[in-house]
């Protein structure tokens, strides 16, 4: 009775799922048929805060600093220089990271090993004569009673040839100022093309002295650098093995 009820519920669930997929496919098909021969329409310019799913952005911000202006003076009290430095130095400031990675490695290893051993034991004199006559069959001699030869040979070879190149720019945000003045930065960039998202992540610690006058810094000057470049979407899913295959690769010993 229970098995029949379960089968009935399973059939109803499959039917509902098929109907939902068919309706969604029909809706998409109708939209595509209506736009045959027409150019794609651009989205209307409207208030982004009024769209469903909008959430205000919360970022690390520096403590407010009061600025006092002296009357009839171009110099502001508390300024570090006459011309304001536009380089990032506080929490919430933005700087541009120039990511340039050119990684090449070529390693060839060859190992050869050979070993040969030979052991021979014989008995001579009177004991040898007695052994030849009493213990050994005719035609055998104790002069070569034990003869052992061992030979081992092993050869191994390994090769690594790798080349990786990445060159791009990404804006990063200062998230923390360390007690020694160094800046902790983190930047994330996402680009969607059709159904594929390319994601670039940069994080690490930089010195304010390494930031150039145009508010940029090279990725080679980032300490504890964490740079990730990858994608997610339909193309990435096709390039990866299915979850079942990955699980079997882990579980199967051969």
pLDDT for position 178: 92
Question: With pLDDT > 90 as the criterion, what percentage of the chain qualifies?
Answer: 21
Structure letter (DSSP) for residue 219: G
Q: How far apart are CA 61 and CA 194, in angstroms?
A: 35
DSSP H helix total and E strand total for the chain:
4, 8
pLDDT for position 208: 93
> For 155-164, what is each residue's pLDDT tens digit?
777 777 777 7
Q: How far apart are CA 37 and CA 47, in angstroms?
A: 30
In the block, tokens 């736009």 appear at 35
pLDDT at 7 > cutoff 70: no
Side-chain-facing half-sphere of 101: CA atoms under 13 Å: 18
Mean pLDDT over 236-249 rounds to 78
pTM exceeds 0.85 for this model: no
Q: Is the dihedral of CA 207, 210, 213, 219 positive or negative?
A: negative
pLDDT at 91 > cutoff 80: yes
Q: How far apart are CA 66 and CA 213, in angstroms?
A: 25
- The 10 Å CB-count burial string (b at 16+, else e) for 31-42 is eeeeeeeeeeee
Residue 66: band (very low, low, confident or very high) from pLDDT cuts 50, 70, 90 = low
Q: Higher pLDDT residue, 126 or 157?
A: 157
Q: Higher pLDDT residue, 203 or 72?
A: 203
In the block, tokens 């911000």 appear at 61
Mean pLDDT over 55-71 rounds to 72
């Amino acid at each position: 009775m229970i098995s029949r009820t379960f089968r009935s519920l399973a059939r109803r669930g499959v039917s509902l799922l098929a109907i939902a997929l068919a309706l969604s496919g029909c809706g998409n098909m109708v939209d595509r048929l209506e736009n045959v021969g027409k150019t794609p329409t651009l989205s209307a310019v409207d208030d982004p805060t009024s769209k469903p799913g909008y959430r205000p952005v919360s970022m690390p911000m520096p403590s407010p600093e009061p600025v006092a202006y002296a009357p009839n003076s171009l110099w502001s009290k508390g300024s570090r220089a006459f011309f304001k430095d536009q380089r990032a130095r506080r929490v919430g400031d933005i700087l541009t990271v120039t990511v340039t990675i050119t990684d090449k490695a070529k390693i060839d290893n060859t190992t050869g090993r050979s070993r040969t051993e030979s052991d021979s034991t014989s008995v001579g004199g009177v004991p040898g004569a007695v052994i030849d006559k009493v213990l050994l069959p005719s035609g055998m001699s104790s002069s070569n009673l034990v003869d052992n030869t061992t030979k081992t040979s092993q050869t191994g070879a390994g090769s690594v040839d790798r080349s990786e190149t990445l060159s791009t720019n990404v804006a990063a945000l200062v998230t923390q100022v360390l007690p020694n003045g160094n800046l902790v930065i983190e930047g994330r960039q996402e680009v969607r093309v059709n159904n594929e998202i390319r994601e670039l992540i940069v994080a690490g610690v930089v010195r304010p002295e390494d930031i150039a006058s145009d508010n940029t810094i090279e990725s080679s000057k980032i300490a504890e650098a964490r740079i990730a470049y990858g994608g997610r979407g339909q193309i990435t899913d096709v390039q990866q093995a299915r979850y079942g295959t990955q699980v079997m690769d882990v579980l199967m010993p051969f």
